[in-house]
Amino acid sequence: MGGNALKNVETRRLSRDEYFALETKVVGQLRKDFPAHRVEAVRAYREKDSFGDMDVLFESTGLTTNMSDYVKRTFNSKEVFKNGGVTSFECEGFQVDLLFTPTEEYETSVNYFAWNDLGNLMGRVAHKMGFKYGHDGLKMVFRDGDYQFAEVVVTRDVEQMTKFLGYNYDRLLAGFDTLEEMFAFAASTPFFNKEIYLLENRNHTSRMRDRKRKSYNSFLQWVDTAPNLPAYPWADMKEKGGPKYKQEFIKRAREYFPEFGEVYDKTMADFETWKQVKENFNGNLVREWTGLDNQELGNFMKHLREVKDVMGKEAWDSMVLAAGKEGMKKWTLPYFEAFKEAQQ
For residue range 28-60, what is the model confidence (pLDDT) as tens digits? 999 999 999 999 999 999 999 999 999 999 999
Q: Per-residue pLDDT for 71 more than 90?
A: yes
Q: Per-residue pLDDT for 2 more than 70?
A: no
State in words which class domain 14-101 has. Answer: alpha beta
Residue 210 vs residue 226, higher pLDDT: 226
The H or E element that residue 88 is part of is strand 86-91
Phi, psi of 193 (to 5 degrees): -155, 125
Burial 205-230 (b: 16+ CB within 10 A, else e): eeeeebeeeebbeebeebbeeeeeee
Mean pLDDT for the chain?
Answer: 94
Domain boundaries, the chain: 14-101, 116-258, 281-343
pLDDT band at 341 (very low <50, low <70, confident <90, very high): confident
Q: What is the pLDDT of residue 114?
A: 97
Q: What is the pLDDT of residue 117?
A: 94
pLDDT band at 13 (very low <50, low <70, confident <90, very high): very high
**Residue 7, Cβ density class (10 Å: 0-12 exposed, 13-18 middle, ≥19 buried):** exposed
Compute the distance between CA of residue 311 and CA of residue 321 in angstroms, rounded to an integer: 14
**Residue 80 region, left (φ>0) first, then alpha (ψ -120 to 50), else beta?**
beta
Q: Per-residue pLDDT for 241 more than 60?
A: no
Q: Per-residue pLDDT for 242 more than 70?
A: no
Compute the distance between CA of residue 155 and CA of residue 58 in angstroms, rounded to an integer: 21
Residue 7 vs residue 122, higher pLDDT: 122
Q: Per-residue pLDDT for 1 more than 80?
A: no
Average pLDDT, integer, range 86-115: 97
